[in-house]
Structure 1
């Protein structure tokens, strides 16, 4: 019996030594030891289980089947080796794919949009084709995002106006994405559809709740303002209410429009059955004094697709 126990013990020792030699000759461990030449061999021996799991995880990462099918002990985490006071330990950290997933989830949480095409809400400043006519506007839009990130309450909004298809909405969409770099939430909405939704809110009693969303978001982007049908209710109960709140709370608003500011004022004045220049002027005070207006020029990109 003693001979058998001795034999098995010796065999286990041989197996461990073979496994240790195999491990020490693995390229990943050779690379680690090259960066840590002061680590004695005994520490590698004591940390053999950590080393083996590290190799297994790293080899799995090289054949990565995607996050959903990640074979590592902790899905989405890659193994690294760390020198500690007690020896060599395997630690884990999020892999690049998991971090990318987190960034996308965070972006979706920070960006909300209603009735905005995907190609607009996913636009970035890098994806907008260079154009001398709108280069300065893009620079101003980037500066706006930086300013919001530094002090949102001291930042004026933007009023981007120009012909159809010159890229106003794309710039606005790129603003949404740029703001996520500063952890600033934004809401971009197509104004004519917004009005239709709020009309539905009157019928189901949710209009005030919906208005609060537009009032209180950090950065509100009103896309295509001036193309909605203007009524006294739209002017006095919607725009006046939302913009008054945002002005009082010093929250910046971005607008895109086919109308310049003078034309927009006439649009507000010319409400169906209630022409009122004074009320229009009051609304424009909540817009004109709190934005930097820019004329976006260039050819119609839709015609060039």
Structure 2
């Protein structure tokens, strides 16, 4: 089979022939129809995780068709169109993953290949309303957004929600999930064009965080009190801007961080946190039950993940550079259909 392989850290992916995986006990082989990129793939290529061993097939997101069953796997799965849960070995505590936890694509070979072997427990039937490309865009981003919104901040209908960095895959599915749950959604972005696209999706309003007064502008646009407005804030950036999220949070608000793309959080004034009775949560990935719940909700509400662009698997390196450039709106997808 063909795969996009990271042969050496800091080097381009190589599209090459590799052995087709064989299903062991409890496993299946999935013919990958589409795979989606995450920033994690770029960071692995750049060597930003410990203990990376190459050669390695990247990719945490994938959708395809089950072609082979290993010993003990139900015949139900044979020929089934599926998506793959990339969150493996969470453990028994739903509040926090265990010591054996891992995400598909490191250290195990991932989805940037014609075929992948995977434990059957990590399969979910593909939502029928989604194409393979759309379905591949769902797993990691959808799971991350679902846990942040549902498990961590316990979003309620009518909550006023701010999602930062609209344009990224997790941020956009968070917008879609929050809207489907009956929330009023606002966004920030570094691009006015991306803000307009988020408004077209149903967001109430948004501001460009490149404007030094964005946090004040946001409150003015929302006709909000100076004490803050947003019941829920979902943030992927961290950095110095996090302190301003505390300013726009409503008293008693819930802020959830799932990333730190702009670096360490700085300049937070503790008094603003405790006098406003704020709740600050961290979140990453999620449990098997959360993945099942998220997928069911997406199917029930007919949510369609936003796909920015699709590349053939043979151009996986070009897709990574497109992601690294940072201008995408939605998920970047690889198709094995050349």
Q: TM-score, normalised by structure 1?
A: 0.31
- Bigger relative CO (Cα 8 Å, ≥ 6 apart): 2
Higher strand share: 2
Q: TM-score, normalised by structure 2?
A: 0.29
